[in-house]
Amino acid sequence: MKKPKSLRRQFNIVLISLYLLSLLTTLPLVYYTTSKDIYTATNKELSLLVDMVQSVRTYIREDVRPELFKQKVLHAPAVSSTVATRHVAAHFRKLQPKYYIKTASDNPLNLDNRPRPLEQEILEYFRQNLDQKMITREGEIEGQRYLVSSRPSISKPSCNLCHATPETAPEEIVKAYGKDSGYGYKIGDVVGVSVVAVPLSDITMLAVKRGLLLIVLLTFLFTLAMVVINLLVKKKIFNPLEELNNASQAISRGALDRPVEQHSNDEIGQLAHSIELMRRSLKEVMERLSR
């Protein structure tokens, strides 16, 4: 005779299977929604940061440079918004090394500001879409995938103080950067881009961490629910069924004097009542036969 299967064991297997099935179905959804939320938050953060970069450039161009020129002071980090941005970015990256900040131009005075391929693509995009004030996209910089936010750098009248021609540029600028690059700017042209980026791997890792945290929370809640359900089911179903099973076996062996107690009015209680009626009937029959 085969060993009877435990109903309690089967019940737990069903619960665990439901848990694993729920994980398989919800995990991709959790990862997708978490990634989307983090992506949106990061995009907003990058937009604010690139706006700050533009604000630094505007401050140098409109508030600092005119006053220094009046005093015939030509200190590049103070009068050049591009140089000032590079210095600010260097200090910022000491605090936040994962961020990438750069003002790139394909016609720079300082050749260190030449654009990388992704920055050149963004620069051409702004030139072809003059009404576009900011874009966010994914791209590769130095072999690493980034989420990039960019704004165009538009040539202003004050830019021509240094960028018109080598002949009209301040002597200090020509001595520092030469005559081969950084000139010929036309007012209103897109001459560069301000780029702020963060590695996509950081976004993915954060999404994975949040997903795992949610899985841990779901596992804890499921375990708690499983314990509570098992206790309730044990009390309301398994224990009464085991008691009825013992009573039925006792009746089958001829032990008809022990009454079958009814503890509830549900289906199990009705079953207990039916077995009790059967016990009474069998007892009456046995008593009649023994007379």
Asked if pLDDT for residue 235 goes beyond 60, the answer is: yes
Give the model confidence (pLDDT) of 166-190 as tens digits. 898 888 888 888 899 999 999 999 9
Q: Which amino acid belongs to residue 126? A: F
Average pLDDT of 19-47? Answer: 80
Assign 154 a pLDDT band (cuts: 50, 70, 90): very high
The answer to whether 247 touches 262, Cβ cutoff 8 Å, is: no
Q: If pLDDT is split at 50, 70 and 90, which confidence band does 291 have? A: low
- Specify the CATH superfamily of domain 7-20+209-290: HAMP domain in histidine kinase (1.10.8.500)
Average pLDDT of the residues in 269-290: 82
pLDDT band at 4 (very low <50, low <70, confident <90, very high): low
What are the residue ranges spanned by the domains of the chain? Answer: 7-20+209-290, 28-203
pTM above 0.85, yes or no: no
Q: Is the pLDDT of residue 202 over 90?
A: no
Q: Is a pLDDT exceeding 50 seen at residue 1?
A: no
Q: Is the pLDDT of residue 263 over 70?
A: yes
Which pLDDT belongs to residue 187? 92
Can you say how many angstroms the Cα of residue 181 is from the centroid of all Cα atoms in its chain?
Answer: 43
What is the residue-averaged pLDDT of the chain?
84
Helix-then-strand count for the chain, H and E: 10, 4
CB contact at 8 A, 148 and 138: yes
148 pLDDT more than 50: yes
Q: Which amino acid is at 208?
A: V
pLDDT, residue 50, reads: 87
Residue type at 180 in one-letter notation: D
Task: Kindly tell me if the per-residue pLDDT of 239 is higher than 50.
Answer: yes
Return the percentage of the chain with pLDDT > 70, whole number: 98
Query: For residue 32, what pLDDT band results from cuts at 50, 70 and 90?
Result: confident
Mean pLDDT across 92-108: 90
- pLDDT on residue 245: 84
- Residue 5: per-residue pLDDT: 57
What is the mean pLDDT of the segment spanning 273-285?
83
> Cβ(151)–Cβ(57) under 8 Å?
no
Distance of alpha carbon 49 from the chain centroid? 19
> Which tokens belong to 242?
């085991």
Give pLDDT tens digits for 36-92.
Answer: 887 888 888 888 888 888 888 888 888 888 888 788 777 777 778 888 888 888 888
pLDDT-wise least confident of 110-119, 159-168, 227-236: 227-236
